Structure 1
Amino acid sequence: MVFGLPEGKAEWTKFLWNEGPALLFFVTWLCANIGLFFSTYSSYQTNEDYKCPHDIMGAGLSVARGAAMILNLNCALILLPVCRNLLSLVRGSIRLSFIRLLDHNITMHKLIAWTICLAAVVHTGAHFFNFLNLEKTGSLQCGGQPGTSAEDYAFATIAGSTGHIVVLVMFLMFTSSMSIIRRSYFEIFWYTHHLFVVFFVLLCIHGLGGLVKKRVVIDPTDPANDVYESQPPNFWKFVVGPFGVYLIERGLRFYRYTQNTIVQKVVQHPSKVVEIQLVRRGFHSKPGQYIFVHCPAVSWFEWHPFTLTSAPEEDFASVHIRVAGDWTTKFAEALGCNWSNKGDAGEIQASATLPRVAFDGPFGTASEDVFKYEVAVCVGTGIGVTPFASILKSIWYRLLNPSIQLKLRKVYFIWVCREKEAFEWFADLLEALEQQMEQQNLYDFLDARIYLTGELNSNEVRNVMLNDEEEADAITGLRAKTNFGRPQWGRIYEQLVQDHPSTNIGVFYCGPKVVAKELGRLSKQFTNPRPGGTIFNFNKENF
């Protein structure tokens, strides 16, 4: 590839097969932005109704209005990718090839945000240029106020003052969204990001000053009677619909907050993982979905996403949370967890006083599409295994029900983890699945491959060597033997191609971006859409 683009017909075929819907959406969005800018620019350049203000401000007026139109469009779009109830509704009503487009919702949200930033810079820069021209030749009729300085236009007018506050709000939102801030100081990101309400309100009143005026023809036979009137703000027309959808989302969250949620069980696992089982009346989910968890005792405003580890067939919703930040640490402590001694584990006593917990959801993810494929490859690293707990549990329940016909014929489950203690909470599920496969003579249905990347002490090494010939693995207790080191992803894909010709394989991943990038690259590389070829559809968790 050159600059990330495929070369040759075969490479382009693979690329379009995997990224076609996303590419189509991106091109449509890009063309809409370009078209709106240049059509608006041309209108202010050539339309006689704007001749007088254009004579004063020049091309700066046209550039500012073109950039403003891009702001209008993208501010209307930016909330939609994070309206998770809407995405879940859409996910259930479109074709599989387009469902994968929804998995790029956070990427699209970021792209739209950067477009807003760029348009705001262009819009602001053009208006600084306009203010200088208004200072020189401004008139009451065409726009401006004679004797007013450029500084006053920039800071003492409605447009100028609100514009500078909007720029400040954007600066705070963008800097707090940086990965290093978001991961280390999530609370800062969370609270600062909600300044978007201030951002939208300010943009709604930004045009009230009527800086740009449009000609109103009083007498078509006498142009001398024409007047120029300020135009009312129109930003609100673009955002009222999407903002209404967002308010509905918030209303649903508040409704779910008010519902009675029972903390049924809290289990403290090794490697600082806490399991919580929640019960809420009328709750239904699909395998691989996630919820937002809220604990008022920890924070009144914060809601954090966690993948469900319970199956739809179970009468509770469970999540496994890795304690790694301020909120998760305080939440675990509020639930009664204490890892003062390494390896401490067990169920928190029912007599313990538990805080009130609420949750919002469930919301759809890529993993819930696993049952739409005949062959699925599920890859998890560390706590990223959680989506597949729900999926594997649901498989187990469906195999117990002879009335359910599964399209899924083969599941490859690959788990990469640093510490052997992390396998503890998941091993029981895998063992139950292995036993179920054996009872129903489905030995080849589940291919579980466990990879341990951390070091073992001398006693653990000796135990592994002594039990190497045993039927059960010395570390996990499973029939599937533990592999030491990292997976050879290229070899795994080569074997999948050999074993499953003429097959559409779903690859599902949850974990760090480094592995996601490698799996995405290999999925494109080994995809062969020709007759008899194997097709890999890569799906990554994003929430």
Structure 2
Amino acid sequence: YWQNNSRKLLFLAVYSLLNLLLFIVAMLRHSYGGPWFMVAKGCGQCLNFNCTFVMVLMLRRCLTWLRATWVVRVFPLDQNILLHQIVGYAILGFTLVHTTAHAFNFVQMTASGEYSLWEYLLTTRPGIGWVKGTASLTGVVLQVLICLMVLCSSTFVRRSGHFEVFYWSHLSYVWVWILLIIHCANFWKWFVVPGLLFVLEKIVGIAVSHMGGLYIVEVNLLPSKVTHLVIKRPQFFQFKPGDYVFINIPVIAKYEWHPFTISSAPEQSDTLWLHIRSMGQWTNRLYDYFRELESEPPGPNRLATSLRKRRQLPRISAQLTENHRFCNIKCYVDGPYGTPTRQIFASEHAVLIGAGIGITPFASILQSIMYRMRKQNCPSCKYSWCENIKDSEMKLRKVDFIWINRDQKSFEWFVSLLTKLEMDQADEEPEGRFLEMHMYMTSALSKNDMKAIGLQMALDLLAKKEKRDSITGLRTRTQPGRPEWGKVFQKVSEENKGKVHVFYCGAPALAKVIKAQCEHFGFNFYKENF
């Protein structure tokens, strides 16, 4: 447990002690105003720190750069999103206590003062605050905005297909910072340096995303409502396996940016791949947009509407198959940004676990691994596929790839790459293969179920005869049911290929189960935010 959580726990301990120290010092400075005034000032000082620190945790370009330094071994940079959420809840707590303490203090002041409680809370007459007595009014508005931001960023809202609610409500952080500068005389001193870094990151992001013309040149509508976008890659765009980008497609939503993992390898110099599953409003609009362009019949009664639309919307230029087309659609890309999977090449034995669409970061990693293996193992010539990669960066000795899906269709969109990876290792003995694949289909009855014994025996015989799995078409046999993680990790431990690092991308519930097993076997665990 300590191995996987030490950096986070130490960070939270230092963070808590710092807040406690700020609270106590601020209380002692304002001891003249009574206990409620002291509590309000203590929380106010903590809010000065937290309202700037919450921004520091989202400086993605700075964090991506720090991942390549020694800092990643000291600070939990891979968990910046979790820490951002923790600080956000701390801000909500401090805000509620700060407002309540001021309200009780105002009640005491009304007993001997000339103003009523409502005048203290909702007017500028008492003259409280450094900008024309607006501290109370701005405080009330800040309380409402912060509560709204926390509510709209809850897991229920983000996971229920309403990402746009989270996205647009979170943009009110600009108003929160403006109101904080007006509300508190000292907040600008805390804000100035992180604020300049934040503005600089935004300017660089806008410049990079609009530099050169980026176009979606190919689209493929895959099973399970997955949209495969192929984007022309600019020359200056450099990324590492598992990185993600923010993409904006004006024909879908002019002002919305959404994060997706790059599923192509860095060694693929001409294009970028994104695999996007339709789970929310924006992703469904994306899928429906391309599906309608492909299936819309040229009826005579829709001629006038069609002519008007063609002036505004890009057209699909050529059809390869029913769901696969060339196109030329403008888009903007901001990134790349780093993830925990950047550390995979420093591992000796890597276990990659993807659930459903959580396969996307590993698509890039698996392709990059095979490119690098080709470079090191080419027996017939000295040509290098990736000349800029040093041999010392590639410490991997074994990769176990585990993919868990609900049904057969969920495997179809990624099978072509897996087939290619199998072919690259076709001549090697099973025991000596660098990459070993394990497929699981959870909707199928497990082999221990009496109802499935006959079916599984038939599938085993068919797979042995045809040397292909009847579900995926791969040589790797698809296992029914869910993995028995204890047995899976026991086998990995017995192989003794070196230090084991487990990388997971998928649903949070399964992450807890896998993390517990990693702690039991002493494996390092890394979770991709999903």
- Is TM-score (shorter-chain normalized) higher than 0.5? yes
Matched, 1:359 2:336: no
Structure-2 residue corresponding to 1:6: none
1:276 to 198, 216, 229: 229
Give the drift of 1:483.
0.3
Give the drift of 1:94.
2.1
8 Å CA contact 2:92, 2:147 repeated in 1: no
Instruction: Mark the CA change 1:346 to 1:79 in structure 2 (over 3 Å): closer, same or farther.
Output: farther
Matched, 1:468 2:463: yes
Matched, 1:127 2:127: no
TM-score (norm 2): 0.84
Structure-2 residue corresponding to 1:148: 115
Give the drift of 1:125.
1.1
Matched, 1:433 2:421: yes
Structure-2 residue corresponding to 1:116: 91
Instruction: Mark the CA change 1:451 to 1:328 in structure 2 (over 3 Å): closer, same or farther.
Output: same
Matched, 1:487 2:483: yes
Structure with greater Cα Rg: 1
Q: Unaligned 5+ residue runs, structure 2? A: 125-133, 296-319, 377-383, 385-389, 446-451
Structure-2 residue corresponding to 1:65: 41
2:26 to 40, 44, 52: 40
Structure-1 residue corresponding to 2:436: 447
Structure-2 residue corresponding to 1:144: none
8 Å CA contact 2:215, 2:329 repeated in 1: no
Matched, 1:383 2:357: yes
8 Å CA contact 1:464, 1:475 repeated in 2: no
Q: Give the Cα–Cα distance (whole angstroms) in 1 for the partners of residues 13 and 496 of structure 2.
A: 34
Equivalent residues in 2 for 1:174-189 (5 A)? 174-184=150-160, 185-189=162-166
Q: Give the Cα–Cα distance (whole angstroms) in 1 for the partners of residues 349 and 321 of structure 2.
A: 36
8 Å CA contact 1:293, 1:305 repeated in 2: yes
Q: Give the Cα–Cα distance (whole angstroms) in 2 for the partners of residues 17 and 179 of structure 1.
A: 27
Give the drift of 1:111.
0.7
Matched, 1:82 2:45: no
Instruction: Mark the CA change 1:505 to 1:345 in structure 2 (over 3 Å): closer, same or farther.
Output: farther
**Root mean square deviation, CA, Å:** 2.5
Give the drift of 1:455.
4.2
Q: Deviations over 1:451-483 (max 9, x none)?
A: 011249x9x979835523132212222221110
8 Å CA contact 1:427, 1:476 repeated in 2: yes
Q: Give the Cα–Cα distance (whole angstroms) in 1 for the partners of residues 72 and 103 of structure 2.
A: 48
Structure-2 residue corresponding to 1:518: 513
Secondary structure of 2:110 counterpart: helix
Structure-1 residue corresponding to 2:307: none
Give the drift of 1:291.
0.9
Q: Unaligned 5+ residue runs, structure 1? A: 1-14, 46-50, 139-146, 208-232, 528-535
Structure-2 residue corresponding to 1:496: 492
Q: Give the Cα–Cα distance (whole angstroms) in 2 for the partners of residues 415 and 98 of structure 1.
A: 31
Structure-1 residue corresponding to 2:201: 249
Structure-2 residue corresponding to 1:531: none
8 Å CA contact 1:374, 1:504 repeated in 2: yes
Give the drift of 1:150.
2.0
2:192 to 240, 251, 254: 240
Residue type of the alignment partner of 1:262:
Y
8 Å CA contact 1:337, 1:348 repeated in 2: no
Matched, 1:314 2:303: no
Q: Give the Cα–Cα distance (whole angstroms) in 1 for the partners of residues 413 and 458 of structure 2.
A: 21
8 Å CA contact 2:348, 2:397 repeated in 1: yes
Q: Deviations over 1:16-60 (max 9, x none)?
A: 222111111111111000011011112222xxxxx4xx2xxx111
Secondary structure of 2:224 counterpart: coil
Instruction: Mark the CA change 1:43 to 1:26 in structure 2 (over 3 Å): closer, same or farther.
Output: same
Residue type of the alignment partner of 1:201:
I
Q: Give the Cα–Cα distance (whole angstroms) in 1 for the partners of residues 460 and 293 of structure 2.
A: 34
Residue type of the alignment partner of 2:247:
V
8 Å CA contact 1:411, 1:446 repeated in 2: yes
Q: Deviations over 1:519-542 (max 9, x none)?
A: 111111221xxxxxxxx1100002
Give the drift of 1:401.
1.1
Structure-2 residue corresponding to 1:540: 527
Secondary structure of 2:414 counterpart: helix
8 Å CA contact 2:217, 2:329 repeated in 1: no
Secondary structure of 1:369 counterpart: helix
Structure-1 residue corresponding to 2:245: 291
Matched, 1:192 2:181: no
Structure-1 residue corresponding to 2:316: none
Residue type of the alignment partner of 1:42:
L
Q: Give the Cα–Cα distance (whole angstroms) in 2 for the partners of residues 348 and 481 of structure 1.
A: 28
8 Å CA contact 2:220, 2:325 repeated in 1: no
Q: Give the Cα–Cα distance (whole angstroms) in 2 for the partners of residues 79 and 126 of structure 1.
A: 26
Identical-residue share of aligned pairs (%): 36
User: Number of aligned pairs?
Assistant: 471
Residue type of the alignment partner of 2:284:
T
Mean CA deviation greater in 269-278 or 373-382: 269-278
8 Å CA contact 1:267, 1:346 repeated in 2: no
Q: Give the Cα–Cα distance (whole angstroms) in 1 for the partners of residues 501 and 151 of structure 2.
A: 36
Instruction: Mark the CA change 1:95 to 1:491 in structure 2 (over 3 Å): closer, same or farther.
Output: farther
Structure-1 residue corresponding to 2:411: 423
Q: Give the Cα–Cα distance (whole angstroms) in 2 for the partners of residues 131 and 359 of structure 1.
A: 51
1:303 to 257, 262, 274: 257
Give the drift of 1:293.
1.2
Q: Deviations over 1:235-261 (max 9, x none)?
A: 111112222222122212211332210
Matched, 1:334 2:311: no
Secondary structure of 2:335 counterpart: strand
Q: Deviations over 1:246-297 (max 9, x none)?
A: 2122212211332210212111111111111112421111001111111112
8 Å CA contact 1:103, 1:542 repeated in 2: no
Matched, 1:22 2:8: yes
Q: Deviations over 1:351-395 (max 9, x none)?
A: x5x542111111101112111101000000000011110000001
Residue type of the alignment partner of 1:197:
V
Secondary structure of 1:449 counterpart: strand
Q: Give the Cα–Cα distance (whole angstroms) in 2 for the partners of residues 384 and 288 of structure 1.
A: 11
Residue type of the alignment partner of 1:36:
L
Give the drift of 1:421.
1.8
Give the drift of 1:70.
0.5
Q: Deviations over 1:105-139 (max 9, x none)?
A: 1110111011111111111111112212322345x
